[in-house]
Structure 1
Amino acid sequence: MSSGSPAMKRKSSLSSDTPSKRAPRQIPVSCESCRKKKLKCDRAQPCSSCSTRRIPCSYGDYGPFTGGTATENVAQAAQTSPSGVATAPSRHQQRVMTYQTPEGYHRIGDDPLATAVRLENIMMAHRVPTAVSASVRSQLSQSHVSSPISQQGSTPGSLSTLIHGCSASSQNPTNLPLVSYLPSRSEMLDLFDYYCTHLDYQYHLIIPSRTRQDIYKVYANILNGEICDLGILALLFGITSATLFFRLLSTTTTEIAESASREAAFLAGAALMQGNYMTCPTVPGLQATLIIGHHIPGLTLDPSVCAYFVPGTMASQGKSLKLHIIDCPRSAEERRINGCDATELELKRRLWWDLASYEWLLGFLSGPQEFTYSISPQQMNLRLPLNIEDDDIETGDEKPLSTPTCMSYTLARLQLAHICREIVDRTAPEYLQGYEVSYDRVLELDRMLNEKYAELPDFFRFDQSSRRKYANLYRERPQIAWQSAFIQQGYQARLCRLHRWHFIRGAKDPRYSYSHVVSLQSARKVLELKRIMDEEEPILAINSSFWAVMHHVFMSAVTLLINICFNWDDILAEKQKEEVLEACRMLSRAQQVSSIAREGINAMMGTLRKHWIQQKRPMSDVPGSQPEPTFHVDLQQLTPASSNVEPNSNAQFMQPAEYHVPSSQDALNLQNSGSGELPLEDIFSEMLDDSGNVELDSTGWMELLSELTHSTVPY
């Protein structure tokens, strides 16, 4: 084809007369970070993506797109109406407005940026505490405090709404308007005063004066339309949850108390979730989880928030806050250079030692965590809390241990926890290998327990002479009287548990008679302490029905019951039977007051009756007896099972079993009754009457004692 062909001319003509089909390279309008990450950029300065990640936002040589975003335009339109009056955005505007959650800025709807941010947080958020510096973590934590969460513009509600009409747990906790569920300030202060008087003395997880200031600050922020600290909101809801549970028990039904407490606990979890607590924990947030986890451990919570209140999570968050290395040289040097808040520092020490003592006490109770603990003293560096009143922390005016302070009980409880950890360390190797712990080691640990017991201050003795000596102190500070009872029960219950391996043998073998005697003495002391708690009835009487207290009472009753089976013809058998029946009456009263105690007692009764039938000698083997009819009764009718059983009580033992019922009419009444529960006193009376017909199988009784201690709650 020649160069002058028509086709070539047309092509040449088009090339010269029209522009090229390839468009020139478009000027970038996204920032450099979004271009690299291939994210949608809103072209603001800085863009929302860079703001969320708190990184520099640069457009290179081009500069940002200045036309504005839909979000900015809608937000501006929502702020001012044509008349100059602020107005709310329309429904259409709300769909495109940006709001912030703990996972960053999201758009309501299907936004690629929201998806990218969400996925990045899911994959990487847990690495933030170890991947970034302390200063960046502080900025991240502060960003959650000052973020425009959904509570902005809300006003507090009322306590009656929280008790009767609250349905927060049916909503999404990530965007719940938290402030609208707060009680009024006067109601919150009233709840706080109740907590300080009736509950705080058990663990002392707050410094009242500081928490009171936080309450005033929260309500002042609400009044001024400012954002509230989410950690402090969680703390207030935690205090509300614990207080409502015990306060309402004396005035309403158990169901109402549990429902109100559950709603408040859910709100505390929602505040922690909105504050991204797992990634950026705070001291108030940890206080909130400890308050709920310690005071109402048996409360059934929504699955979306229950993980915040379990011991493993609480210990992990304490480590994230570096509470376990507060007094290491590096931390001490930083405080010397930068200064510190002495009250805050002492509070952190208290919180960590509470976490440690909680684990160590649980390590010497049967259950999944038996003979284990995750907080090792070799892996932490902080001194013990001071024996000091809260108001004297700044001055450092520490008192001797012989002087009672608000921290005396915490220090005494920590001392017992150290012994429990020592017992675990010395007995776990043999026990976990299936070997029997030598009796010499049991006696050595018994000596250690008694030595620590002898070091208790006199005002914690609680014997008759000490009670007379400190009667005025107990009237002025009734909390100390209760602390005395609790610490005494703690020691006596641990002594009884330490000797349980040889208690049965001691009834027959003189070599182990010491264990038999000590177990009976400790069991009787536990019951005596409970009688004192019931008879004196100070302003804290409701606490005598704590499940931790009643667990020890039940174990003491079973110890005395087993002793009667081995010595049914003893001259003091009738008196011993009355001791057991009196313990049954204590348990029955607790069942009336506390649903947690009721369900824990029911679970333990199921275990006891199962073993009783196994140990009971067939009636045909008893001379001169006639065989009585045996009926198959579902244990769930005898002791109704519930998903709300104390989490540390093993529901696996609540299985159908074969029971001997006194008469066919009783069996029919039992099967046809609505509740299906027999009075505890009747059940134990039947067992006591048949105590002479029980086979003395040491192995079976040992299994019973082990299974009954599966209620792993702190004392």
Structure 2
Amino acid sequence: MSKRSKIGPEVFSCESCRTKKLKCSRVHPCSNCTSRGITCGFLTSPEKRQTTVHRDADEGITSLLRRVERLENALLRDGTTPALRINDELQHSTLDGPAATNSGTGKTARDDDLDTLENLAPGHNTALTFDSPRYEIKTTYEILGSVSSHASFSPIALPPYRAAVSLLDSFEANVEPVCPVIHRESIRSMTKTVYLALAQRQPLVPSQAALLLALFSLSAFFYRHHNSPQVASTDNECARLSGYWGHCALQAINHSHQAAAGTLEDLQAHILMSYVSFHVEGFSAIRHRQINMAVFLTRSLRLHRLDSEPHGEPLKPLNVSQLIELETKRRAFWHVAATEWLESTMSGPQEGMYFIHPSHVHVNLPGDFTGSTHEPGSQSDLAGPPNTSTFLLAKIQLAHLCRETTDLIPLETCKVMQMPYEHVIDLDGKFRTYVADLPFFFRADEASRAQSKPLEMVYPGITTMRYWIQTATHSRRCRLHQRFLLRLSSDPRYVYSRQACLESARVVIGAFAEPQGADDSPSLARARMEMVVHHTHLAVVVLVMDLCSNKAEAARDRIGNEVAAALGTLHDATAVSEHAARSLESLKQMLHKHSVFVPTVVHIGGTARRQTSLEQTLVLQASTNSSDATATVQHQSFDPYTNYNDVSDMDFSTSDWDELFASLDSRPL
């Protein structure tokens, strides 16, 4: 930016016309000064200005013509084999000095040329112009005041630098263990750059502003104000700041997409905003949109061939900054790919489908920031103490199992019944092997948890990582076997599916019994609970189905108690989690719709999850008039044996249960 552009807009009129506010012809001398016989003076000579403009335009056109000519020469030099010759020509071309491959990006010179020709290169503006958001620095209490008064979100307010550093600390402590897509030193350096630009009244890079706002929003959600009141002093203030910066981040992301084709910072911002949307709204349309945009950006940035060798030759050695950039891109890509594959086995519009195909991926598995990586498909070593990539590697392994399940298991129950049952057993074996091969600090058995206690003092994120891995794995194992749960009479082999279903459902529900850490903030406890509400919802449905369908089972009383305790656990969670409240309400509505009579304990106390008191027992009753059907709530002592006769009297077909499960499983939480 020139010195004059910082002071004000460039002046084109002569001094006389400016003084008299006349329309100047902008030539020397101008028509007004000539007719008045006075001296015509310009601050900048029109001839010099036109020469500069024409020279800049000529240079841009010349550069574009050179690129076109280079592509034409490479294509036409050997007309018989253009596809084979073009890579060789581009490899040895030295026009404008770019290397054949941009180290650390996976892009070739041909990619740059095509980006330029198609106007897709980062930084190329579209033909449409958009107003850039304005940014300023305000104290967090000034921001809270503007939020309370419903003031406009323009200009966008960022916290003071010291508060920003506190938010970065919160991100590293609470978010980075499960979302390791940000390099610590890089984000801190970028934060300094952004705040220096604000202090000097310079415009911000849109993608950097979007990433910083998304990070502030997610960090504020988990901020522990009792340790450091630098940002906020109450949980409510943290939540309001998180919502404000989340709204501003969406605005900044939108502007960044309008200003450029996409950058790594844009991708990281979408990843962080998918977490913000999830913790605020659950599996909402906004969250799905963030993930879909992240998938789109991985393709736009060509991250799917990040470690490919375009000309059959190994990439040149990279310096430290290039290694960091390359590893950050690997982590971002694999995080997006793993998330998409995992969610292809969850109910919702994305169920049964994914966009990133492993055959199209040429990206090494993430390692550390020193260049140590794993080849795709290799058995990565998860042993030893955890690091920033340990959780991501475990997540990727589970995602591959989910992708395989999506490819193999049809969505329609009738087609599942026609496929060989051995396929289900094989997949189940892979899930069990995955759980058995997890490092001890990710396993849920008592011995492993006791062994990991010393590590948890140094790595407090282990508890959350284990919480997510166990519930995500066993909920998907539940879904794998669920449709065989009701068909024990048709094939004796399905008894194994029932056992697997109940075993995994108990692991998911038992995850709530793990005590919170002493330093856990209410927001962290809520986030951990919301992380697995969907999985717990599914596990409760499985227990209810088994309770109501397998009437002759000797362990029926035990399962009835487990159903009551699980529903009570969900009710307890409603005090801190809106997702749990929606889950419980969804269960009530669907069970009532299908006339399922299930007693519900709504208060479970004690660390052992023993029943200590009853606030109410919900008895769902079928009405003769379905339009007037209502659920009645009765306050009475709870007896786990009560009302099971009502359940036994119901005569549900397997198709009825399939419809019930589909209704319960697809309810938006």
Q: Same fold (TM over 0.5)?
A: yes
Cα distance change on mapping 1:194 and 1:249 into 2, 3 Å: closer
Matched with 1:511 is 493
What does residue range 121-200 of structure 1 map to in structure 2 within 5 Å? 132=116, 137-140=121-124, 149=132, 151=134, 155-166=136-147, 176-178=154-156, 181-200=157-176
Q: C-alpha displacement at 1:373, in angstroms?
A: 0.7
The counterpart of 2:247, out of the listed 266, 280, 291, is 266
Matched with 1:704 is 660
The counterpart of 1:527, out of the listed 485, 509, 512, is 509
Mean CA deviation greater in 562-571 or 415-424: 562-571
What does residue range 373-388 of structure 1 map to in structure 2 within 5 Å? 373-386=354-367, 388=368
Structure 1 residue ranges without an equivalent (≥5): 1-26, 30-41, 58-126, 617-626, 634-656, 667-677
What does residue range 269-418 of structure 1 map to in structure 2 within 5 Å? 269-276=250-257, 279-297=260-278, 299=280, 309-330=289-310, 336=316, 341-386=322-367, 388=368, 393-394=369-370, 396=372, 400-403=381-384, 404-418=386-400
**Residue type matched to 1:531 in 2?**
A
Cα distance change on mapping 1:456 and 1:374 into 2, 3 Å: same
Matched with 2:204 is 228
TM-score, length of structure 2 as denominator length: 0.69
Q: Distance in 2 between matches of 1:498 and 1:347?
A: 34
Contact 2:273 2:287 survives alignment (8 Å): no
Contact 2:221 2:239 survives alignment (8 Å): yes
The counterpart of 1:486, out of the listed 436, 446, 468, is 468
The superposition leaves residues 74-112 of structure 1 with CA deviations (integer Å, 9 ceiling, x where unpaired) of: xxxxxxxxxxxxxxxxxxxxxxxxxxxxxxxxxxxxxxx
Q: C-alpha displacement at 1:569, in angstroms?
A: 6.7
Q: Distance in 2 between matches of 1:435 and 1:138?
A: 50
Cα distance change on mapping 1:249 and 1:237 into 2, 3 Å: same
SS at match of 1:612: coil
Q: C-alpha displacement at 1:558, in angstroms?
A: 2.2
**Residue type matched to 2:187 in 1?**
T
Matched with 1:441 is 423
Q: C-alpha displacement at 1:210, in angstroms?
A: 1.7
Matched with 1:208 is 184
The superposition leaves residues 470-510 of structure 1 with CA deviations (integer Å, 9 ceiling, x where unpaired) of: 22012221211221222111221111110011011237853
Mean CA deviation greater in 456-465 or 517-526: 456-465
The superposition leaves residues 215-246 of structure 1 with CA deviations (integer Å, 9 ceiling, x where unpaired) of: 22221222233332221211111012223334
Q: Distance in 1 between matches of 2:151 and 2:52?
A: 35
Q: Distance in 1 between matches of 2:313 and 2:127?
A: 27
Q: Percent identity?
A: 23
Does residue 1:603 correspond to 2:583, yes or no?
Answer: no
The superposition leaves residues 634-671 of structure 1 with CA deviations (integer Å, 9 ceiling, x where unpaired) of: xxxxxxxxxxxxxxxxxxxxxxx6535448xx7xxxxx
Cα distance change on mapping 1:221 and 1:252 into 2, 3 Å: closer
Cα distance change on mapping 1:408 and 1:150 into 2, 3 Å: closer
**Residue type matched to 2:309 in 1?**
P
Cα distance change on mapping 1:331 and 1:313 into 2, 3 Å: farther
Contact 1:547 1:600 survives alignment (8 Å): no
Contact 1:233 1:271 survives alignment (8 Å): yes
Contact 1:290 1:309 survives alignment (8 Å): no
Mean CA deviation greater in 599-608 or 127-136: 127-136
Q: Distance in 2 between matches of 1:483 and 1:329?
A: 34
CA radius of gyration, larger in: 1
Q: Distance in 1 between matches of 2:583 and 2:456?
A: 31
Does residue 1:691 correspond to 2:667, yes or no?
Answer: no
Contact 1:234 1:268 survives alignment (8 Å): yes
Q: Distance in 2 between matches of 1:683 and 1:543?
A: 30
Q: Distance in 2 between matches of 1:603 and 1:130?
A: 51
Q: C-alpha displacement at 1:416, in angstroms?
A: 0.5
Contact 2:279 2:527 survives alignment (8 Å): no
Q: Distance in 1 between matches of 2:373 and 2:297?
A: 30
Cα distance change on mapping 1:692 and 1:141 into 2, 3 Å: same
The counterpart of 1:498, out of the listed 480, 483, 491, is 480
Cα distance change on mapping 1:572 and 1:291 into 2, 3 Å: same
**Residue type matched to 1:491 in 2?**
T
Contact 2:478 2:505 survives alignment (8 Å): yes
The superposition leaves residues 32-66 of structure 1 with CA deviations (integer Å, 9 ceiling, x where unpaired) of: xxxxxxxxxx9964899998999459xxxxxxxxx
What does residue range 523-602 of structure 1 map to in structure 2 within 5 Å? 523-532=505-514, 534=515, 539=520, 541-543=524-526, 545-567=528-550, 572-602=555-585
The superposition leaves residues 533-578 of structure 1 with CA deviations (integer Å, 9 ceiling, x where unpaired) of: x455652651565434012112222222222223557654444333
Q: Distance in 1 between matches of 2:160 and 2:400?
A: 42
Q: Distance in 1 between matches of 2:200 and 2:572?
A: 49
Q: C-alpha displacement at 1:259, in angstroms?
A: 5.1
Does residue 1:659 correspond to 2:643, yes or no?
Answer: no
Q: Distance in 2 between matches of 1:432 and 1:510?
A: 19
Q: C-alpha displacement at 1:377, in angstroms?
A: 0.9
SS at match of 1:261: helix
Q: C-alpha displacement at 1:278, in angstroms?
A: 7.4
Contact 1:231 1:284 survives alignment (8 Å): yes
Cα distance change on mapping 1:485 and 1:190 into 2, 3 Å: same
Matched with 2:6 is none
Contact 1:129 1:279 survives alignment (8 Å): no
Contact 2:345 2:351 survives alignment (8 Å): yes
Q: Distance in 2 between matches of 1:160 and 1:299?
A: 22
State the superposition RMSD in angstroms. Answer: 4.6
Contact 2:278 2:287 survives alignment (8 Å): no
SS at match of 2:409: helix
**Residue type matched to 2:307 in 1?**
D
Contact 1:505 1:512 survives alignment (8 Å): yes
SS at match of 2:185: helix
Cα distance change on mapping 1:501 and 1:571 into 2, 3 Å: closer
Q: Distance in 2 between matches of 1:683 and 1:369?
A: 41
Q: Distance in 2 between matches of 1:406 and 1:470?
A: 17
Contact 2:592 2:621 survives alignment (8 Å): no
Contact 2:622 2:629 survives alignment (8 Å): no
Q: Distance in 2 between matches of 1:196 and 1:528?
A: 28
Q: Distance in 1 between matches of 2:387 and 2:335?
A: 17
Q: C-alpha displacement at 1:407, in angstroms?
A: 1.1
SS at match of 2:574: helix
**Residue type matched to 2:463 in 1?**
A
**Residue type matched to 1:517 in 2?**
Q
Q: Distance in 2 between matches of 1:448 and 1:351?
A: 26
Report which of the two has the higher share of helix: 1
Does residue 1:217 correspond to 2:158, yes or no?
Answer: no
SS at match of 1:695: coil
Q: C-alpha displacement at 1:427, in angstroms?
A: 1.9
Q: C-alpha displacement at 1:295, in angstroms?
A: 3.9
**Residue type matched to 1:576 in 2?**
I
SS at match of 2:469: helix
Q: Distance in 2 between matches of 1:373 and 1:289?
A: 18
Structure 2 residue ranges without an equivalent (≥5): 1-24, 28-45, 63-110, 227-231, 375-379, 600-619
Q: C-alpha displacement at 1:177, in angstroms?
A: 3.0
